[in-house]
Amino acid sequence: MSQLPLVRPATATDAPACAEIYAPYVTDTCISFEAEPPVPLSSARESPTHKESHEWLVAERDAAIVGYAYAHGFHIRAAYRWSCETSIYLAMDRRSEGIGRALYEVLLARLTERGYRRAFACIALPNHASIGLHRAFGFEDAGSFRRVGWKYGAWHDVAWLQRTCNLMKSTHRHPSWLRCLSNQRIGA
């Protein structure tokens, strides 16, 4: 069995490696519905503000980035602020080595510590490896959208899975990153 990777918070200098990992998912598969690979630092997940509110992690093995995972807001409406959506991408030649499991162990623990109640995953189908990883971490089926994404000349389904992260007794306590913002801004 391979040595587990070092999982650490991502920095802006990791963005090019993450973009390189993500590109084949865009160009060669239907796992991502994007048409063109984004340039590094083009999305909210790489911004310092995003890391303060959610999480962006990388897995490193032999001084190389071999995968990354992140979470972002589930929906822009204020009532959804206790929920987040997760994503994970591994270097194509590094799958089935325990890297995804190592990333998700840290990611989900940090989201729970921050006070998120639910984590969601949107998975283009078929994707047995991603479904298996998410189920191994307690994600359950939440629903699916049929023929919702058009790529490579065909319609594709997506599955939504969800996981309970935090069963706080208080249903109104904000996730930890929100507590430092003004009540006026978040509409508490």
pLDDT digits (tens, 9 = 90+) for 51-95: 556 789 999 998 899 999 999 888 888 888 889 999 999 999 988
Q: Which residue has the higher pLDDT, 45 or 117?
A: 117
Question: Peptide bond before 5: cis, by omega within 30 degrees of 0?
Answer: no
| pLDDT confidence band for 101 (50 / 70 / 90) | very high
- Report the pLDDT value the prediction gives residue 48, as an integer from 0 to 100: 45
- Report the pLDDT value the prediction gives residue 185, as an integer from 0 to 100: 45
Asked if pLDDT for residue 50 goes beyond 80, the answer is: no
- Report the pLDDT value the prediction gives residue 174, as an integer from 0 to 100: 60
- Report the pLDDT value the prediction gives residue 137, as an integer from 0 to 100: 95
| pLDDT confidence band for 176 (50 / 70 / 90) | low
pLDDT digits (tens, 9 = 90+) for 22-43: 999 999 999 999 999 887 754 4
- Bridge pairing between strands 83-90 and 118-124: parallel
> Mean pLDDT of all residues in the chain?
84
- Burial code (b: 16+ CB inside 10 Å, e: under 16) for 34-59 equals eeebbebeebebbeeebbebbbbbbb
Asked if pLDDT for residue 179 goes beyond 50, the answer is: no
In DSSP terms, 71 is beta-bridged to 55, 86
